[in-house]
Amino acid sequence: MVDKKALWAGIACHFGLKLNEVFRLKDMEGMRYRITEEGLQCCSDDIDEDTWVKSCVVAKFLQGELGDAVKLKWSPSKGELYYMVSKSLNKPCHITARAWYGHDTDYNHLMIDNVFKTAEEAEKAIPMFKEKLKESLNAYGKV
């Protein structure tokens, strides 16, 4: 008997993915996909909730006819902690933990790539944010 979990895990690995990792296909707009122990599943972007169904495009996907798999950036679920680089007048750049509630502030941080899964990832981004801050201040003649 075929070990379905191992089979689909191997297929996911072949495409640089992990089981249950959500991705898009370059040539298939409006849909998200994931490979599970049960096979390839899809979910429409038009649906508010995560309603996953078996995808009927497995053969085309496996043969590379649908374009490359494009990994999505991580974003937290409601109530989940995320880390960000913060800067205040009296403090140098530092790491702050926040809970995600999908407010405008959360999405503003996401839009400028300032949402990290771990404090370590956020720490690594400090030099980039220092450079962005310096560029912004230079543009306004504040440095």
DSSP-derived 3-state class of residue 75: coil
pTM, two decimal places: 0.56
C-alpha to C-alpha distance for 143 and 133, rounded to whole angstroms: 10
Q: What is the pLDDT of residue 55?
A: 77
Question: pLDDT tens for residues 28-44?
Answer: 788 888 999 888 888 88
Query: Cα dist. 106→3, 18, 49 in Å?
Result: 41, 26, 19
Q: For the chain, what percentages of helix, strand and coil (3-state, to nearest 5) are there?
A: 30, 30, 40
Q: Where exactly are the structural domains of the chain?
A: 4-71, 81-139
* The pair of three-digit structure tokens given for residue 48, joined into one six-digit string: 């508010």
Structure confidence at residue 124 as a pLDDT band (50, 70, 90): very high
Taking residues 90-96, what's their average pLDDT? Answer: 85
Question: pLDDT tens for residues 9-65?
Answer: 998 998 899 999 999 888 778 888 899 988 888 888 887 667 888 877 776 777 777
Q: DSSP letter string over 30-79?
A: EEEEEEETTEEEEEETT-SS---EE-TTHHHHHTTTT--EEEPPP-PPTT
Structure confidence at residue 1 as a pLDDT band (50, 70, 90): low
Question: pLDDT tens for residues 58-84?
Answer: 767 777 777 777 888 888 999 999 999
